[in-house]
Amino acid sequence: MVVTVKLSKVTKTFKKGKRNVEVLRGVDLVVERGACMGVLGPSGTGKTTLMRIIAGLEVPSSGEVYFDDKLVSTSNRIIVPPENRNIGMVFQSWALYPNMKAYDNIAFAVKNKGEETRKKIEEIAELLDILHVLDRYPRELSGGQQQRVALARALAKDPSILVLDEPFSNLDARIRDSARALVKKVQKEFGVTALVVSHDPADIFSVADVAGVLLDGNFAQVGSPLELYDSPVSASVARLVGEINELDGVVEGGKLRVLRGVVERRDCQDGNVKVGIRPEDLRVSETEVQGMISLGKVRVKVSSYTGSSFRLVVSPLEEEKVELYVNSDRPMPINSEAVLLAKPEKIKVFKNN
């Protein structure tokens, strides 16, 4: 039975020596039945703690955790222990049982061991392309295969919820994308509620329907991955979700002044602000471009190739200390001068703090 997971005002405090460290501060969260929720956050913000509380491996200091309407954890008490929560979990280390072959690893989680189970495990293995390695020990498998065995183990028992803790961070960059696509595919195919925890926005973008940014023990923003990317509520969220240039700006009478450019911004209060512009929303050009505004002349400091596009580091002529990253479709000579253009609607304005 797939469930809706609900957390209500969950806090978690650890004792570190004499000090109390508050890892989670009143987290509210709903992961709808069949949805895939991504939790993004830098290390040390309580991502793993949150996940372990949902799994029942950790006790919340206060607050409640529900699976559908059933209370599973409450203040300092675990009501349904992890072994009865029917959770499928993929650990960051994959945590395969080293003494068992891949098949037995997957079967370990399944209660009845009949012919039906064997068929089911083989079906899942086929889907995950590990059918031919089922009789091998984990140490004889590649990283990607181990991860898929761990995923198969989590899926084989028809979990109420699938929890993935940094599932891609131990994989080679080369196979990470196909692994992400596979996770997304099986999650939808099985219709299982899922929670993916990661510090890498690429994981969240490729897998999650809804994502939350966990900062300092609480969600700073929850929304679709695109929403987080395009309309982040703060500079910290913007930074976490993707690369961004941060500049100082001033708003006066509905106009935002940043570098040498002026943009209409009716929605902002007057005063000093932080301005964020993603590298793909900037362009360096000799001429004006329709729909883009000029931010003034810049000098190219670095021009590098990043695989599919070029990446420039530029500085305004009059402010050598400011450096901006700009995506470009062609390389530029070092020290050449050009005009920096920006898509005005993509410029993000944050409160100065």
Partner 1 sequence: MSEFGPTVKAFLHQLILAIFVVIWLIPIYAMVINGLKSEFDVTSTPVFIPPLHPSLTAFAAVWSQLDVPLLNSVIVVIPVSLVATFIGAMAAYYFYLLSVSKRRSLNFMSNTIFSLIALATFMPYQAVIIPLTRIEANWGLLNTYGGAIFAFILFYIPTAALLMSMFMAVLPRDIIDAARIDGSGDLRTFFRIVVPLTIPGIISTLIFNVIEMWNNFFIPLVLFNVAKQTLIPVAVESFTGGYGTLYNESFAAAFLASIIPLLIFIFLGRYFIRGLVTLGTGGKGAV
Looking at the DSSP bridge assignments, the partners of residue 43 are none
Stretch that binds partner 1, among 3-11, 79-87, 296-304, 319-327 (CB under 8 A): 79-87
Beta-carbon count within 10 A of 200 CB? 14
Residue 166 found at the interface with partner 1 (CB under 8 A):
no
Closest CA to 48 of 319, 211, 40: 40
Q: Does 82 bind partner 1 (CB under 8 A)?
A: yes
Helix axis angle, 143-156 relative to 115-127, nearest 10°?
Answer: 140
Residue type, 20: N
* Residue 99 burial (CB count, 10 A): 9
If one asks whether residue 87 binds partner 1 (CB under 8 A), the answer comes out as yes
- Of positions 22, 34, 59, 315, contacts partner 1 by CB under 8 A: 59
DSSP label at 131? G
User: Which of 107-115, 117-125, 184-192, 258-266 is the region at the interface with partner 1 (rule: CB under 8 A)?
Assistant: 107-115
93 in contact with partner 1 (CB under 8 A): yes
Query: Least distance (Å) from partner 1 to the CB of residue 109?
Result: 4
In this structure, the strands spanning 193-198 and 161-165 are: parallel
Which of the stretches 30-38, 50-58, 197-205, 343-351 binds partner 1 when contact is defined by CB under 8 A?
50-58
CA dist., res. 300 & res. 194, Å (int): 45
**Residues 3, 51, 72, 109: which binds partner 1 (CB under 8 A)?**
109
Of 120 and 157, the one with the shorter C-beta distance to partner 1 is 157
Nearer to partner 1, 67 or 350 (CB): 67
DSSP reduced 3-state for 218? strand
Question: With binding defined as CB under 8 A, does residue 157 bind partner 1?
Answer: yes
Q: Among residues 58, 166, 203, 281, which is the contact residue for partner 1, using CB under 8 A?
A: 58
What gap in Å lies between CA 115 and CA 121, rounded to an integer? Answer: 10
**Among positive and negative, which fits the CA dihedral 225, 226, 227, 228?**
positive
Cα–chain center distance at 99: 33
# residues near partner 1 by CB under 8 A: 30
Least distance to partner 1, CB of residue 152, Å: 12
Contact 131, 122 (CB under 8 A): yes
Query: Does 6 help bind partner 1 (rule: CB under 8 A)?
Result: no
> What's the min distance (Å) between Cβ of 55 and partner 1?
6
308 touches partner 1 (CB under 8 A): no
Among residues 16, 18, 19, 111, which is the contact residue for partner 1, using CB under 8 A? 111
Rounded CA separation 305/309 (Å): 6
Site residues (vs partner 1, CB under 8 A): 14-15, 55, 57-59, 81-89, 91-93, 95-100, 108-109, 111, 139, 153, 157
